[in-house]
Amino acid sequence: MNQSVDNAAYQLSETQQRYFATFGFLLLEQLFADDIQGIAAAFDSVMFDENNDGVNLDYSEGDRLMVPAILDRHEDLKWLKTDPRILGIAQSIIGRDWVYAESSGDLLECETTWHRDVYASPLTQLHIKLLFYLDPLDAETGALRVMPGTNYYQDSYTHDLLRGQGFPDRMKDVFGVDAHKLPGVPVPTRPGDVIVLNFRTVHASFAGKGPRRLLNLNFKEPGPPTG
């Protein structure tokens, strides 16, 4: 049974919920300001442990190390799974029957170019991601960029856009400009901020000088097994 969060202080406000539902992302500035140093120290000790089961993912412009289930790998990260601020976000967006859908740690030395997240998540089942970037990032140093409104994944705008997804060269073939010049919105962050992202919102990062440290936590609405 899920731990429900009844304290209104931990719920997103109506306007925050509307912002997220409309644009497909939400920045919560400094929500974890008091905790982020401890989170970053625990993150580093997992990411630099050679027995962390990390997977190296190849990107055209650099590498990405992804460590699955990072919250379970350090005592000083486990508490995030039941933190009322986290659960308040999940509950506000998904409802009381939210399901925890794992965590990961990433060291990114790559650009991720435009894509939506679909892995192990049927399009019709709402999935959200909470991103903690552990270094200050802006548009010039690899901050996440989003295309607001692409969370409406059945919309013809999103459909047209996705003809070029995933491959920078293909974006150029389809739209005639470099992928990083397409109209997206950078979301600059400082350690302690949390970005809440709908999996379907088209997102990317460019110009990362890396490695950028990213902790992800995922939640979904109940649905069929995703295997």
Ligand X SMILES: O=C(O)CCC(=O)C(=O)O
Residue among 26, 130, 144, 171 that touches ligand X (CB under 6 A) = 144
Residue whose CB is less far from ligand X, 5 or 54: 54
Site for ligand X contains 103 (CB under 6 A): no
Q: Does 203 bind ligand X (CB under 6 A)?
A: yes
112 forms part of the interface with ligand X (CB under 6 A): yes
d(CA 206, CA 93): 28
- Sole binder of ligand X in the list 108, 147, 202, 215 (CB under 6 A): 108
Instruction: Find the shortest distance in angstroms from Cβ 208 to ligand X.
Output: 7
CA–CA separation, 63 and 107 (whole Å): 8
Q: Tell me the closest approach of the beta carbon of residue 6 to ligand X, in angstroms.
A: 31
Our CB check for ligand X shows the closer of 52 and 103 to be 103
Nearest distance from C-beta of residue 147 to ligand X, angstroms: 13
Question: Which residue from 187, 205, 211, 217 is in contact with ligand X, where contact means CB under 6 A?
Answer: 205
Question: Which residues contact ligand X (rule: CB under 6 A)?
Answer: 108, 112, 117, 144, 203, 205, 214, 216
